[in-house]
Amino acid sequence: MSFLALPSLNSLAISRLHSQKAPSLNSSIPNISAFRHPCTAAPHRSQCGVIRMQAGEEDFELKQMRDMAAAKKRWDAMIREGKVKILTPKEAGYAIQLSNKPLLDVRPSSEREKAWVKGSTWVPIFEVDNKFDVGTVSRKVSNFVMGGWWSGVPTLSYDSQFLSKVEEKFPKDAELIVACQKGLRSLAACELLCNAGYKNLFWVQGGLEAAEEEDLAREGSQSLKFAGIGGLSEFLGWTDQQRVQTAREGWGYRLLYSARLVGVFVVADALFIGAQQVGHYLQDIRSH
């Protein structure tokens, strides 16, 4: 990807920025990136290994932040120079209906299968990574700990065949509307396509999540607004989209999500008590 000037598009970084803010499971770990320890005593070797791993993860996070900041500057320049034109979801709907412009959906399958724009062409720039090799498992764990458990955003991998797949479907002079769920991945796709020679690109600002029901002809089991949510936040109704829906629907929705929250506390309490009982049982066995 480096030849296309997209060093920042690490799938894990994209996933984190694309997801909603979530409480981190390791937020209580102090910042130890500047920590130095001789690590010479044998009893402390495992602890030092953990420290080095945490410091390495923090360095990786800083690099991803710098890379993403650089990418956003390039994307701003791309739009400012007119290489990519901005459309609202409503304007995109008009362009599709009146001018028959094609819409390229670059979302992963986890979002596409819930809802999609009728007649759109699907070519994901990042796809759900279902492999279970050592590197993928490590990324899955990191993604889960950094908020995947809350947002439901899966671990994604860049599809190296993205450009070739688009080129098979659309000529370089096509007037192409590019959209994702929130507008970030579609900007990345626009940069790739622009660098590959596509000159008539339109970016859906805010993504399909910003579309109202009347803006775009939709297919699928859910609203386009809800296609990108998941995890515990969706189950509890704590996403921005669900809050808006709850305000519209009234007490029915509120009671449903309140009941779910109570259920989570009941299950957590039961698990805690069960774990305590198991601990006491094992302690009794050791004492005898």
Q: End-to-end distance of the chain based on CA atoms, in angstroms? A: 63
Q: Which residues contact 155 (CB under 8 A, 6 or more apart)?
A: 11, 12, 15, 128, 129, 136, 139, 140, 143, 148
Strand partners, 84: 201
Q: Are 187 and 75 in contact (CB under 8 A)?
A: yes
Strand-strand pairing, 156-158 and 126-128 = antiparallel
Looking at this protein, which amino acid is placed at residue 36?
R
Residue 243, token pair as written in the block: 């809050």
Q: Are 229 and 209 in contact (CB under 8 A)?
A: no
Q: Is 39 a catalytic residue?
A: no
Closest CA to 74 of 203, 205, 192: 192
Catalytic residue among 39, 48, 180, 194: 180
For 62-125, list the strands marked E by DSSP: 84-87, 103-105, 115-117, 121-122
Burial of 96 (0-12, 13-18, 19+ CB in 10 A): buried
Residue 225, token pair as written in the block: 């607004």
Residue 226, token pair as written in the block: 């809800």
Strand-strand pairing, 218-220 and 115-117 = antiparallel
Distances, alpha carbon 22 to alpha carbons 12, 25, 135, 255, 257, in Å: 15, 9, 24, 23, 18
CA 175 to chain centre: 27
Annotated catalytic sites, by residue? 180
